[in-house]
Amino acid sequence: MDNAMKRTKIHVLRQLENSPGQVLVKGWVRTRRDSKEFSFMEINDGSCLKNIQVIAGQDLENYVQIQAVSTGSAVSVEGLLVASPGKGQKWEIQAQRVEIINLAPDSYPLQKKRHSDEFLRTIAHLRPRTNKYGAIFRIRSEMAFAIHQFYNKKGFRYLTTPVITGSDCEGAGEMFRVTSLSPEAVKKSGIMDFKADFFGQESNLTVSGQLSAEMFAMALGDVYTFGPTFRAENSNTSRHAAEFWMLEPEMAFCDLQQNMDQAEELVKALSVHALENCEEDMDLFLQFVDKSLPDRLNTIIHQPFARLSYTDAIEILQTSKKEFEFKVGFGIDLQSEHERFLAEDYFKKPVFLTDYPKTIKPFYMRVNEDDKTVAAMDLLVPGIGELIGGSQREERLDVLEKRMDEMNLPKESYWWYLDSRRFGSVPHSGFGMGFERFLMLISGIKNIRDVIPFPRTVGSIDF
């Protein structure tokens, strides 16, 4: 290859106002059509949704081989960038040299037509080469960056909390056990001897970085964690995965209202960021994936989210004419149908529900003056359900210890957590947002498996 020539990515080429003349592109052939004296090749290099059209003429020395280039093949093309006389594209490349880097056999599974999401899940290693999956994974990348940018601008510090944890009762669901004990040794002795295990005690994959984040909020002020989270729940739905990414901001000197303000600002800012920075990829979803998406995003960005207490929500559900499968009443956790009714039918926009009964919420949430409810907040969004769960944390040592006693939690193993309430305890709040659920919200993709590069779910860990 000509080392003097530098490769230009297709997203750069497509934005050019004037032709630089000679260009070099490398990518994969999406489709090829023959004409009388030349071949049309559409090349995609993953830098953007769109392809660049290459005109490979019969005067090329390897024209016979070029005519055999199949969908999925990798090529390197050097030629002149010229205005395209055809419709549908501004530029095209008049090839002077086409190097076939790799010829894909006709068994290449991706065809020049629409494939079902279910089929593409069975070839998760190849699906990012399609328009839709290429688009969502570019958006996923951009959104991860946007999260860091959002909090960096606000003066938050990024905190990486442990993936392996020693606490076995964080109460957020079933946990994956981490061990270095060999199955043979365990079978032989008949017991899991945790004292002989790597950490000398039971250890698990994290279900939340919140407790760690609270410690750092008491030191650095405003922090956030953003990383992988693991749940060993046997849940088989389109909204759950065993491994997912969660964003968890934690803020000192912050009450429940300010917590909701933060969450609402975040969701709005990220949505705007997606539309402004992933315009071409977002258009694919706005136009073809979910017809209701433009309205939904417009509502999210421009309308204030609804805010009401759990008690008021129960009132609305009880007085609504809608027939529910499950009865509602104070003290009962809301069912999916209730949450959907509130977000999709009643308010038709994201809804914060606050002040849930303390009996259905974790120990760390701040007990309200009524001693019946806690300063919790869940953000319910149309189409997804719960996107965010958060609370003002219980900063009063005596109240917190009483709650832990009520819930039979071993205070001694939370000694360090309780220390934060002993030494300079202040009101503070935080929340967790499922990153994949947010991606589903802004893309209209209906299954969480389709916004994760290689999803891990019950009974499925291929790739």
Give contact residues for RNA (rule: CB under 7 A). Answer: 31, 33-37, 40, 53, 55, 70-71, 84-89, 92, 94, 106, 109, 111-116, 118-119, 121, 172-173, 208, 231, 233-242, 244, 246, 326, 333, 335-337, 339-340, 385-389, 432-434, 436-437, 446-449, 459-460
> With respect to RNA, which residue has the nearer C-beta, 311 or 335?
335
When the beta carbons of 330 and 415 are compared against RNA, the nearer one is: 330
DSSP H or E stretch at residue 150: helix 131-153
CB nearer to RNA: pick between 118 and 419: 118
Locus of tokens 């909390």: 161
Reading the block at residue 252, the tokens are: 């000192």
How near is the Cβ of 303 to RNA at its closest, in Å? Answer: 21
Strands 351-354 and 38-44: unpaired
Rg of the chain taking only CA atoms, in angstroms: 27
Phi, psi for residue 386 in degrees, rounded to 5: -75, 115
CB of 210 vs RNA, minimal distance in Å: 8
Amino acid in position 1: M
Nearer to RNA, 111 or 189 (CB): 111
Share of the chain residues as helix, strand and coil, in percent rounded to the nearest 5: 35, 25, 40
Q: What angle do CA 255, 261, 317 make, to 5 degrees?
A: 90
CB of 14 to RNA, least distance (A): 13
Which residue's CB is nearer to RNA, number 265 or number 419? Answer: 265
The contacts found for 91-97 with CB under 8 angstroms, 24 or more apart, are: 91/13, 91/14, 91/16, 91/19, 91/52, 92/52, 92/53, 92/54, 92/55, 93/23, 93/25, 93/52, 93/53, 93/54, 93/55, 94/55, 94/57, 95/54, 95/55, 95/56, 95/57, 95/60, 96/60, 97/60
How far apart are CB 106 and RNA at their closest, in Å? 4
Tokens at 328, concatenated: 């509602």
Residue 8 has what DSSP assignment? -
| Closer CB to RNA, 3 or 116, in the complex | 116
Looking at residue 154, what DSSP letter applies? T
Q: Which is nearer to RNA, 172 or 316 (CB)?
A: 172
Cβ proximity to RNA, 130 vs 277, nearer residue:
130
Residue 113 is encoded by which pair of tokens? 């037509």
E-state strands within 411-451: 428-434
Distance in Å, CB of 197 to RNA, minimum: 26
- Contact of 20 with 27, CB cutoff 8 Å: no
Report, in Å, the least distance between residue 243 CB and RNA.
Answer: 8
d(CA 34, CA 397): 76
Q: Which is nearer to RNA, 104 or 306 (CB)?
A: 104
Strand partners, 373: 357
Shorter beta-carbon distance to RNA: residue 249 or 434: 434
Output the smallest distance, CB 180 to RNA, in A: 26
Three-class DSSP category at 255 = coil
**Least distance CB 36 / RNA (angstroms):** 4
Side-chain-facing half-sphere of 224: CA atoms under 13 Å: 25
Tell me the one-letter amino acid at 18.
Answer: N
Q: How far is the CB of 57 from RNA (least distance, A)?
A: 9
Q: How far is the CB of 366 from RNA (least distance, A)?
A: 16
